[in-house]
Amino acid sequence: MAPATHRVALGLGSNLGDRRAHLDTAAAHLGQTAVSELQISSMLETEPVDCPDDAGPYLNAAVVGRTTLSPSDLHAVCESVEDKMGRPRRRGYHDNRIIDIDILLYGDLVVDTAALRIPHRYLTCRDFVLRPLSELAPEWPVPPDNTTVAAHLETMTSDVC
């Protein structure tokens, strides 16, 4: 019997170097190691939010696909990809980054631990997260209230959570 698969959505971001190449590389690694049927949104350039004054613009995208991994194993793969791409593990929360990979949604699951929070804590209040995700999965209900990604995007008023 084949292992169960779960629909997942991940957010990608980069504000250093060849940002487009970094997002493409991260998506390729994820597709090879953890996420099947991977789709990537178009890339959206945005000004940094809650970042140091010297932070350059970000390029953001979303990926949607399926995984057989548990949420914690998927999180470990995301961190491994970040490590392979040169993102330092010890850093300030809002530091510039070669790549940032966040689990946005994992089916209809809600996870709230010290290491992992799903849905992502800023999913519903950041345009640069919702807009790319809405391109791929506008009707995906976001737990716990099951308002769709598209509805959250329509009612969002600020990138400040």
What element of type H or E holds 133?
Answer: helix 127-136
* Annotated catalytic residue 87: yes
Query: Is 100 one of the annotated active-site residues of the chain?
Result: yes
What amino acid occupies position 150?
A
Tokens (6 digits) for 77:
């793969």
| 3-state SS, residue 98 | coil
> d(Cα 63, Cα 87) in Å, to the nearest integer?
19
How many helices and strands, by DSSP H and E, does the chain display? 4, 9
Catalytic residue among 97, 117, 121, 126: 97
Catalytic residue (one of 50, 91, 100, 112): 100
Q: Give the Cα separation of 54 and 49 in Å (integer).
A: 12
102 given a catalytic annotation: yes
* 3-class SS of residue 82: helix
Given the residues 102, 108, 121, 126, the one annotated as active site: 102
For the chain, what is the radius of gyration of the CA atoms?
15
Q: Are 65 and 6 in contact (CB under 8 A)?
A: no
- Catalytic site residues? 87, 97, 100, 102
